[in-house]
Amino acid sequence: MIIAIPREIEANESRVAATPYSAAEFIKAGYTVRLESGAGDKSFFNDKDYQSVNAEIVSSKEPLFNGANIIIKVAPPSIKEINLMAKGTVCVSFFQPTIDIEKVKTMSSAGITGISMHLIPRTTLAQKMDALSSQANISGYKSVLMGSVHMGVFMPLLMTAAGTIRPARVLILGAGVSGLQAIATAKRLGAQVEAFDVRPEVKEQVESLGAKFVEVSSESDDGVGEGGYAKETSDEYKQKQQQLIREHISQADMVITTALIPGRKAPILINKDVVEIMKPGSVIMDLAAENGGNCELTEKDSVVKHHQVVIDGTSNIPATMPIHASELYAKNIAALISYMTNDSGLNLDMDDEIIAGATYTHDGSITHEATKDILKDQ
């Protein structure tokens, strides 16, 4: 069985789907590993590193995909890449099928099985495959460091001969994996940290990291969705939320927003008028920039200023730490491949919760229910 690893073609993607270590593990398990030359360069893994573990190196995608059973990527495949894949090929990558409808249709028509790391269920059994969480940890950590570069103040309390410098005030909107890591990182750097989340059950986690939990008074579990993810909230809740955020954001030196709803445009938490009441020299790190952003003024992959406030819309923060990001992602991918194969080869059991949940096209059909619903309405 051949596993193929192409070189990522997106300009801001520096990760690779398999490291020399994970390639060696695949080879030990009996797979043939084929790598497009230069695939690991941006992650600081060169062709010789892969050759040293007996991976094959090819010059381009045509020979790479020829005869490949499984293609593993980080970014979603391009239409050009999809057109090079043979019927029956399994392609594993990050992919948001409800947003990338045309590619879903192309893959379905070509008979390609598409498996998305975005769709791995958050269950105990699937933990080792949960690439969203592994990469979100990096986003949360690095966003604090990036934000501190933009800020005009120190993070910790400083006692100097010239007087005392107060610690920075950091507000985290969304206490999922990236938000919790941002809290921990900001606390380690000495900041005063507050966090808000629509899910009241995360209060204990926030407080265990030393942050203050800011909560909207509500009698319902308005923000709690399936699998522990956040969901769309009611208009009344949103109104209370906006007022509360407005009060706290005006005092913050750094705001990190992490609110995402799977398969949907990111909710707007910070409107233009809220940015205009923020302190001069403060910063917003918008970790939802890839899906439109939590700030009305966010521009994907741009840093903009409004009213002396910096708004950073870097959409692929994990790629700024490509070594560890690739190592973690490669482990997630390896765990998934181990799960969906056996001694006889591929075992795509569409009755299995993990495989069925992560698959969006199979045997010439679109299998992802939310995507099918969108297509019905078109």
Shared-domain flag, residues 74 and 23: yes
User: Do 359 and 269 belong together in one domain?
Assistant: no
Q: Domain check: are 174 and 236 in the same one?
A: yes
Catalytic-labelled residue, pool 127, 234, 239, 302: 127
Q: Are residues 101 and 164 in the same domain?
A: no
Q: Provide the angle, in degrees to the nearest 10, between the axes of the packed helices 131-150 and 322-339.
A: 170
Check if 253 is active-site. no
- Amino acid letter for position 326: S
pLDDT, averaged per 10 consecutive residues of the chain (378 residues), comes to: 97 97 97 98 98 98 98 98 98 96 97 98 96 98 98 95 96 97 98 94 96 80 53 72 89 96 89 96 97 97 98 98 98 97 90 97 96 88
Residue 224 CB coordination number (10 Å): 18
The domain that holds 32 is classified in CATH as 3.40.50.720
Range of the domain at 6: 2-129+322-377
Strands 90-93 vs 70-72: parallel, antiparallel or unpaired: parallel
Does the reported pTM lie above 0.75?
Answer: yes
Told to judge if 243 belongs to the known catalytic residues of this protein, a careful annotator would answer no
Catalytic residue among 100, 130, 197, 312: 130
Domain boundary, last residue among 272, 290, 315: 315
Domain stop point among 315, 337, 364: 315
CA distance linking residue 172 with residue 273, whole number of Å? 19
Q: Are residues 254 and 364 in the same domain?
A: no
Q: How many CB atoms lie within 10 A of CB 107?
A: 27
SS3 of 257-308: ECCCCCCCCCCCCECHHHHCCCCCCCEEEECCHHHCCCECCCCCCCEEEECC
Q: What is the pLDDT of residue 216?
A: 80
Same domain, 309 and 337: no
Shared domain check, 163 and 301: yes
Q: Is the domain of 258 the same as that of 149?
A: yes
Instruction: Supply the DSSP symbol for 224.
Output: B
Q: For residues 157 and 192, what is the distance between their CA atoms, to the nearest angstrom?
A: 9
Determine the pLDDT at residue 236. 80
**Catalytic site residue 7?**
no
Q: Clarify whether residues 283 and 146 are in a common domain.
A: yes
Domain boundary among 288, 315, 342: 315
243 and 339 share a domain?
A: no
pLDDT confidence of residue 225: 54
- Told to judge if 199 belongs to the known catalytic residues of this protein, a careful annotator would answer no
Domain count, the chain: 2
Same domain, 96 and 151: no
Residue 283 token pair: 């910063």
63-86 b/e (C-beta count within 10 Å ≥ 16 → b): ebbeebbbbbbbbbbeeebbebbe
Angle formed at CA 122 by CA 119 and CA 262, multiple of 5 degrees: 45
Q: Which two tokens stand for residue 360?
A: 């969006």
Active-site residue, 135 included:
no
Burial of 305 (0-12, 13-18, 19+ CB in 10 A): exposed
Q: Identify whether residues 307 and 330 lie together within a single domain.
A: no
What pLDDT, on a 0 to 100 scale, did the predictor assign at position 261? Answer: 86
| Angle, alpha carbons 211-260-326 (nearest 5°) | 85
State CA 136 to chain mean position distance: 5
- Which of 133, 205, 250, 315 is catalytic? The answer is 133
